[in-house]
Structure 1
Amino acid sequence: MGLLIDGVWHRDDETAGRGGRFERQASTFRDWISADGSTPYPAAAGRYHLYVSLACPWAHRTLIVRRLKGLTDAVGVSVVDPLMGESGWTLPEGADPINGARALHEIYTRARPDYTGRVTVPVLWDTRTGTIVSNESADIIRMLNHGFGALASGPDLYPAPLRAEIDRMNAKLYDTLNNGVYKAGFATTQAAYEEAVAAVFETLDAMEARLAHQRYLVDGAITEADWRAFTTLIRFDAVYHGHFKCNVRRVEDYPNLAGYVRELYQVPGVAATVDLDQIKRHYYASHRRINPTGIVPVGPAVDYATPHGRDRLRAA
């Protein structure tokens, strides 16, 4: 994956922490865009720019919310190459009209020349001050949801009456599903792997039961909790089932979950953010410790545009 140490790039494949367990680094840049000008980063069209990977579930969240909130013209995007090599995330020539960078770590050192840490996507960049506003996807989707004021449109994905329940759902899904698949995939001991994969499937089983009687995770309307779940679920059968050894069951084996993923995929604008080719190319070709040959599987053949059947359940 690689990291910067005092602003110098180092190639480093080590992902496991204590006891063979994968440990994710906390995000470093945590500033905010505000609609009311209460922060150093006021809402403005054309001022902010996203650096994303179409393969990354964390970055995928931001692309979905940007589109659902009608901010595609207000917030620009640069897409990194799906293959992560010696230089980490890299940008194809001409992909970065803002900084002209060819590697994402250049963006981090422009913001902080002595930066130490992992170089991750997404990155929300401020063109006015020339720095990173945030590299935390959970914060970025909330900024896109309510930080752009009148520039944004579309549904409120974090409505006040549902926030406590959304937060509880997010916390559970982050630990045992969103990050849980990585804990399984990057584990370096049998015990760490089995612990993680058991938690993944306990969570999927609970989601299947929940979605049998309510249409969305927080029963009212589609919220950010659904989109945070979706970006993991849409990758599950193609990548996590095989590559990360989360192979007890597929999402397609869960009738309610399978229909739920299809419904979310079919929300206008969302399908355009899903690139399964880049997703598979990134995971299978980049993680050579897990897949030394770099061979990318042809399947699975899943048609997410088929009827979802979720309209049988009334949204509250």
Structure 2
Amino acid sequence: MIQRSFASASNKIKIVEVGPRDGLQNEKQVIPSEVKIELINKLSNVGLTAIEATSFVSPKWVPQMADARQVLTSITQKPNISYPVLAPNLKGLEAAIDAGAKEVAIFCAASETFNKKNTNCTLEESMERVKAIMDLAREKNVQIRGYISCVVGCPYEGPVSPKLVADISKRLLDMGCYEISLGDTIGVGTPGAIAKMLDEVLKVAPADKFAVHTHDTYGQALANILCSLDYGIRTFDSSIAGLGGCPYAPGAKGNVATEDVVYMLHGSGYDTGIDLKELIHIGDWISQKLGRPTGSRAGSALMLAARRQQQEKAKL
């Protein structure tokens, strides 16, 4: 294994907040644009340096993101924060650039079947589409972040080859992606599976070229993040209140909650630069807007403790 000890790697962690895009895109109820904008503006005040804002996709396929332009042009963008958007094709990239996007995320899956289900194309066709996007992005001076879905398991094909993930990673990096987010899209990963995948991936590029994106279907998300930390990974995707899932991955639960990740990291001596207390209030706020309890265990516990404390004070 290509592991690094805590002492030999930085304790600075970057969290890429994906709630406003990945978290909300599959909500059945239409979320008002004003709520999305307010969510991003609130998140901009807790110490995050990257907030995935929206997705420039066809409203026919993802109705929730039909207001992408309105959201991106209406949020209060801070100079020290990046606001990447998802662009699955050239049309999406052109629309994103026209709306002022400075960073775009592209994606493909380490599975032929998942690519066909998700984007209606083969892996090779997906890579060709990514290259076309990359060429235009370079011309327009737009940064590109790559996503690879199903890095340890596919809902249709089962276990995924770590060497395939490494090969796709190298190709995306060679095309010009500044970073690759490795996604356990359906949450089947375990620390053992993540370790095998990272053993191969880190042969093609150093750990600072990668992020890890975990889902908590089997309750393994935090354990998988801890495993990734041992390999020197210092960037993680997560979603406020644990919002999100994948319509093409039956049974998949939400992304790991940002509050839970930050709580664990702070308790383990890592520095995220994030105000956990304020983050938890935002998670509670958006959950109320959606009409359900927060999906964050740390957020739920700490909010309950705070309310009990307030009740005790009120009795005095």
Q: Which has the higher helix share?
A: 2
Whichever structure has more strand as a proportion of its residues is 2
Pair in the same fold by TM > 0.5 = no
Q: Tell me the TM-score normalized by structure 2.
A: 0.29
